[in-house]
A and B are shown apart, each in its own frame.
Chain A
């Protein structure tokens, strides 16, 4: 390995033009300046007051902003320059699968034959869309080992709640009243929040010293009032739940269902399927595993696939092949709609294009290389940032900065912030909650070995700084558009709009 690797994920060369703040759109506004241009329609320009009763008209003008097109472009381009992204550099944010988003899928999303179709169009006039949905559903079922899926949930958390409502519908159909859902202590926060909204109580299952579900304690927590368990596998520490078949048997033995949180599906594509592990309900995060870009926080898509005994409860309507055509069909005991229309359709189309380009062979390689990269990084960093659980991990590795904290008073957060100065996005910090000073790195399969080496060297320099000048790490980052922000002040005096009282 060379000392200064070249390709391709380190963004430290990205030019930033200065350190002043960008004015808001409202500060740029000048009365009667405008950018918009509309069609010439020839429609009679009747006065609004002659069309709509006066008591509905707003006596005041709602101010938007009044800017020229040139200033609009300058403003949002400069904002974009104040934003880190996957396209700019490596984004090893654990649990988020920030892999490269192929531009080809952007082109699919921008196809007017797809994105100019109204969602209320009858099936006969939107057969292409229905075929996309049917095809994607089949392929997601092949990947997960399930029978059928709903594509309506707009994000992972929406998928979780949908899954819990399916769980509830299934038990109720059996005349079975159940009260609790089990969740490991390492779970994502969305899991317990979804359980509450699904009308269940959370029972937390502790992890054992290997970072896995404690099977004996799980068995103690089980009972006839348990509706099911929500598991992420590999779990949020990045480790495979090796006793999954025993867990599945124990939960099924009390009549409970197994819910698979697909946040970490990228690790197991082509290697093992949730259905084969015994899961009954599976959600997928298409914005993670299937590379639909995350958009600064969304949109995502969270399809939910199920085992045969749950198919009749799926949300409807579902695009379905009937003879030679595609139609909307609502399952007989459907829980109902979970989205205003058909889900985040364009995100679904992107995911299908991604799956088609990769195929079964490519998706398998995705998982293999993701796991290879995570293990390479874990091993490469073992001397400076040891893994919380030192053995083969899956697609991400959870490291701990407890040593740096004890020796130099430097915390995981300081390391994460210093990494920004080095041209890399931070890893996930302080999650999962069961690991002290956690730094969770998920390199993904799309980063080269040179980029990984370059990340490792950056971390070595940070550890050297911890030794030489720990104070400087508490002040990091300094090279970014802003330095550490005053979060307490933001919460104490909420300024959520430009009009808020200051």
Chain B
């Protein structure tokens, strides 16, 4: 017995679906199964008008087990984490968290990560922060440094080696 999606000729990836649902159950209470496609999430989605993200469709595809289609897509990276979908869903489903799971899956599968994520990750590994201390421009076009403003030195991990060790191990583990 089989169910085949005729547009992609894909069948349900039950194992991946279970993996995602179990991860969601560990992190919060929402279960995607209860979605009844009212699309309240998409109606209010901050990324929908500009970038065509359809959170309710993400949930529907997850329910059908059509995971690869989403993991390989660009649209999952358009979510801006506003959490409106999770807040307003009448069935306590959280499309935003499903998207995080799909993005994590894309990274773990070796797919190329878009934008500056890689650079941010590397910066954190080396100095513990997203970026190094910047010089900024004032109103009247002067350049100032953090020190010039009388602010104390920035807090960073003290034992860089231990920090990097834990992070390197973690970076390849799954939730």
Binding between chains A and B:
no
Q: Which residues of A come within 8 Å of B, CB atoms?
A: none
